[in-house]
Amino acid sequence: MDEILKVNNDNNLVSQSEYSFSPVKFFSKLPEVARPLVDEAEIALSKIEESLYSAPAFINLIKSSLSEVSLQAVLSEDQKQKLATGALKLMTKKDGSLMATLIKPETKKMVANIPLETVKTTPEINQAMTGFASQMQMAQIAEQIQSVSIAIESVRKGQEDDRLAIAYSCQQKLLQAREIKNPELQSMMLMQVISDAEDSRNLLMLSQKSNLQFINEQPESTFGKILKGEKPEKIESRINEIRDGLNAVNMVSLVAALAYNELGEKEAARKSLMYFADFIKKTYLESPGLVDRLDMIDPSPENYWTLTIPSIEQNIVALPVYSEVIKIEGSIDEKE
């Protein structure tokens, strides 16, 4: 078997099993409203791959790293300016990290794997790679929100709630807005979706905080429960409200971000997600023992409070421009 060269990887092993040639393969449980994220990621991946075929910095890295025999297999006939057709395939991890795979077009055998994190290319390609990573990470957030929704629905037993009706209404409006052909009317509809989603989200967040305060105030000891604790029926009712409220907050937060994304307002989408992440962090994660307690009280067998809730916040923070927005806001606060 031919040896596959791993180029410019800072001595870290590349596990090819973590990569795929298609972003779609990573996401099997996306909500319908988030499917365009993966479709756009597929298109972006193809454009990045096409750009790398003739990117000077990338070609120079290959020339300095491969043997003469391997170079002859992957470079174009003039051996200078670009790769031969079919010699490059991009692979991606679920987090949007990219790896270039060089292939001998005649034999389809791999020659080298090149992680692209440390490869200096043009600003246009760098921007495209950042955009691709954002699409993949937003898809991850959407998938995690969907997994929370599924877990919550499994213990709701068919109960319905006005808050959920509002959330599903926002989702349906977004799906309808995507079908509008007139760009001006579509933009107006998307702005209305964002307005409705943000208004309902703020009300839902207030309700969440009130219900979680109620749970926090309940005594944990058996003696305390007897003296000061509320009846189990009332506690269970509040847990149901928290579940439904969280489901709705998740949905409208995702809808708002996706609507901004449809308008091409990437920074606004990320800012909206940051607001959501900040809510999760301050409401759930900064209250000691709260998510563990919710898992203990909740009848669901899945520990989605302790497992999934923190991961949603972490993935939002991992978005490429998250730290840049924080820095910009910090500078504004200092000037004020």
What is the arithmetic mean of pLDDT over 217-235?
63
What are the φ/ψ torsions at residue 103 (nearest 5 degrees)? -130, 140
How many residues does the structure list for the chain?
336
pLDDT of residue 191: 96
| Mean pLDDT score of the chain | 77
Confidence of residue 192 (pLDDT cuts 50, 70, 90): very high
Per-residue pLDDT for 114 more than 60? yes
Q: What pLDDT score does 161 carry?
A: 63
Q: What is the mean pLDDT of residues 136-149?
A: 79
Sheet bearing 110-115, strands edge to edge: 5-6, 110-115, 98-103, 88-92
pLDDT at site 88: 83
* pLDDT for the residue numbered 324: 47
- Report the share of the chain in percent with pLDDT over 90: 10
155 confidence band (pLDDT: 50, 70, 90): low
> Which of 191-200, 210-219, 241-250, 269-278 ranks highest by mean pLDDT?
191-200
Lowest mean pLDDT among 81-85, 148-152, 175-179, 305-309: 148-152
pLDDT at 80 (0 to 100) = 54
- The least confident of 144-148, 163-167, 307-311, 322-326 is 322-326
Question: Could you tell me the pLDDT band of residue 78, with boundaries at 50, 70 and 90?
Answer: low
Distances (CA, A) of 145 to 90, 148, 171, 249, 316: 28, 5, 13, 10, 12
Identify the band that residue 325 occupies on the pLDDT scale cut at 50, 70 and 90.
very low
Separation of alpha carbons 259 and 167, rounded Å: 14
Strands (E), the chain: 5-6, 88-92, 98-103, 110-115
Stretch among 30-34, 89-93, 200-204 having the lowest mean pLDDT: 30-34
Taking residues 136-156, report their average pLDDT. Answer: 72
CA distance 218 to 211: 11
Provide the pLDDT for residue 112: 77
Strand-pairing partners, residue 6, are 113
Task: Write down the pLDDT at residue 217.
Answer: 79
Cβ contacts of 41 within 8 Å, gap of 6 or more: 23, 92, 132, 135, 136, 139
- pLDDT at site 153: 60
SS3 category, 20: strand
